[in-house]
Amino acid sequence: MTVVNLEAGMPTVATAQSLLSQSLRTAKANGTRLVKLIHGYGSTGKGGAIRGAVRRELADRKRRGQITAFIPGEEFSPFDEDTRKALSRHPDLAKDRDYSRQNHGITIVVL
Protein backbone atom coordinates (compact mmCIF):
# COMPACT_ATOMS: atom_id res chain seq x y z
CA MET A 1 0.00 0.00 0.00
CA THR A 2 1.21 3.46 -0.91
CA VAL A 3 0.80 6.19 1.73
CA VAL A 4 0.24 9.77 0.55
CA ASN A 5 0.29 12.64 3.03
CA LEU A 6 -1.98 15.31 1.57
CA GLU A 7 -1.75 17.59 4.61
CA ALA A 8 2.04 17.88 4.83
CA GLY A 9 3.14 21.49 4.69
CA MET A 10 -0.41 22.81 5.17
CA PRO A 11 -1.25 23.03 1.44
CA THR A 12 -4.26 24.72 -0.09
CA VAL A 13 -7.18 22.53 -1.07
CA ALA A 14 -6.25 22.94 -4.74
CA THR A 15 -2.67 21.82 -4.08
CA ALA A 16 -3.87 18.79 -2.09
CA GLN A 17 -6.29 17.87 -4.88
CA SER A 18 -3.51 18.09 -7.43
CA LEU A 19 -1.33 15.81 -5.30
CA LEU A 20 -4.25 13.40 -4.93
CA SER A 21 -4.73 13.17 -8.70
CA GLN A 22 -1.01 12.75 -9.36
CA SER A 23 -0.66 10.11 -6.62
CA LEU A 24 -3.59 8.04 -7.88
CA ARG A 25 -2.27 8.15 -11.46
CA THR A 26 1.19 7.08 -10.28
CA ALA A 27 -0.17 4.30 -8.08
CA LYS A 28 -2.29 2.92 -10.90
CA ALA A 29 0.63 3.10 -13.35
CA ASN A 30 2.82 1.21 -10.84
CA GLY A 31 0.20 -1.49 -10.28
CA THR A 32 -0.47 -0.43 -6.71
CA ARG A 33 -3.97 -1.49 -5.68
CA LEU A 34 -4.27 0.36 -2.34
CA VAL A 35 -3.52 3.97 -1.41
CA LYS A 36 -3.79 5.37 2.09
CA LEU A 37 -4.47 9.09 2.07
CA ILE A 38 -3.59 11.17 5.11
CA HIS A 39 -5.69 14.31 4.85
CA GLY A 40 -6.20 15.21 8.50
CA TYR A 41 -9.47 15.98 10.21
CA GLY A 42 -9.24 19.75 10.47
CA SER A 43 -9.01 21.97 13.51
CA THR A 44 -12.72 22.86 13.68
CA GLY A 45 -13.80 19.44 14.90
CA LYS A 46 -16.17 19.17 11.92
CA GLY A 47 -13.70 17.90 9.35
CA GLY A 48 -11.32 20.02 7.32
CA ALA A 49 -11.57 21.48 3.84
CA ILE A 50 -8.99 19.06 2.42
CA ARG A 51 -10.80 16.06 3.91
CA GLY A 52 -14.12 17.15 2.43
CA ALA A 53 -12.66 17.94 -0.99
CA VAL A 54 -10.76 14.64 -1.10
CA ARG A 55 -13.83 12.60 -0.24
CA ARG A 56 -16.00 14.42 -2.77
CA GLU A 57 -13.36 13.79 -5.44
CA LEU A 58 -13.14 10.11 -4.49
CA ALA A 59 -16.94 9.72 -4.62
CA ASP A 60 -16.91 11.24 -8.10
CA ARG A 61 -14.07 8.96 -9.21
CA LYS A 62 -15.96 5.94 -7.89
CA ARG A 63 -19.11 6.96 -9.80
CA ARG A 64 -17.01 7.29 -12.98
CA GLY A 65 -15.40 3.87 -12.41
CA GLN A 66 -11.88 5.27 -11.94
CA ILE A 67 -11.51 3.67 -8.50
CA THR A 68 -13.11 0.55 -7.08
CA ALA A 69 -13.88 1.93 -3.62
CA PHE A 70 -12.79 4.29 -0.90
CA ILE A 71 -13.05 3.67 2.80
CA PRO A 72 -13.25 6.63 5.17
CA GLY A 73 -10.99 6.07 8.17
CA GLU A 74 -13.89 6.20 10.61
CA GLU A 75 -15.47 3.24 8.77
CA PHE A 76 -12.24 1.26 8.24
CA SER A 77 -13.23 -1.76 10.34
CA PRO A 78 -14.57 -5.31 9.94
CA PHE A 79 -18.10 -3.90 10.29
CA ASP A 80 -17.89 -2.01 6.97
CA GLU A 81 -18.79 -3.83 3.74
CA ASP A 82 -16.18 -2.04 1.58
CA THR A 83 -13.52 -2.84 4.17
CA ARG A 84 -14.49 -6.51 4.19
CA LYS A 85 -14.33 -6.63 0.38
CA ALA A 86 -10.90 -4.97 0.39
CA LEU A 87 -9.67 -7.36 3.09
CA SER A 88 -10.79 -10.37 1.07
CA ARG A 89 -8.48 -9.24 -1.77
CA HIS A 90 -5.76 -7.68 0.39
CA PRO A 91 -5.59 -9.50 3.77
CA ASP A 92 -2.52 -7.55 4.89
CA LEU A 93 -4.73 -4.46 5.07
CA ALA A 94 -5.86 -5.70 8.51
CA LYS A 95 -2.31 -5.05 9.76
CA ASP A 96 -2.58 -1.32 9.06
CA ARG A 97 -2.19 0.73 12.24
CA ASP A 98 -5.44 2.61 11.56
CA TYR A 99 -7.57 -0.52 11.10
CA SER A 100 -10.51 -0.39 13.54
CA ARG A 101 -9.27 2.88 15.10
CA GLN A 102 -11.91 5.24 13.67
CA ASN A 103 -9.31 7.68 12.37
CA HIS A 104 -11.24 10.50 10.69
CA GLY A 105 -8.00 11.86 9.23
CA ILE A 106 -7.36 9.08 6.72
CA THR A 107 -9.06 7.42 3.77
CA ILE A 108 -8.16 4.12 2.07
CA VAL A 109 -8.54 4.01 -1.72
CA VAL A 110 -8.95 0.72 -3.58
CA LEU A 111 -7.87 1.11 -7.21
Cβ proximity of 16 and 39 under 8 Å: yes
pTM of the predicted model as reported, rounded to 2 decimal places: 0.94
Q: pLDDT tens, 29-40? A: 999 999 999 999
Q: What is the pLDDT of residue 48?
A: 86
* pLDDT classification of 108: cutoffs 50, 70, 90: very high
Q: pLDDT tens, 19-59? A: 999 999 999 999 999 999 999 987 665 568 999 999 999 99
Averaged pLDDT of the chain:
95
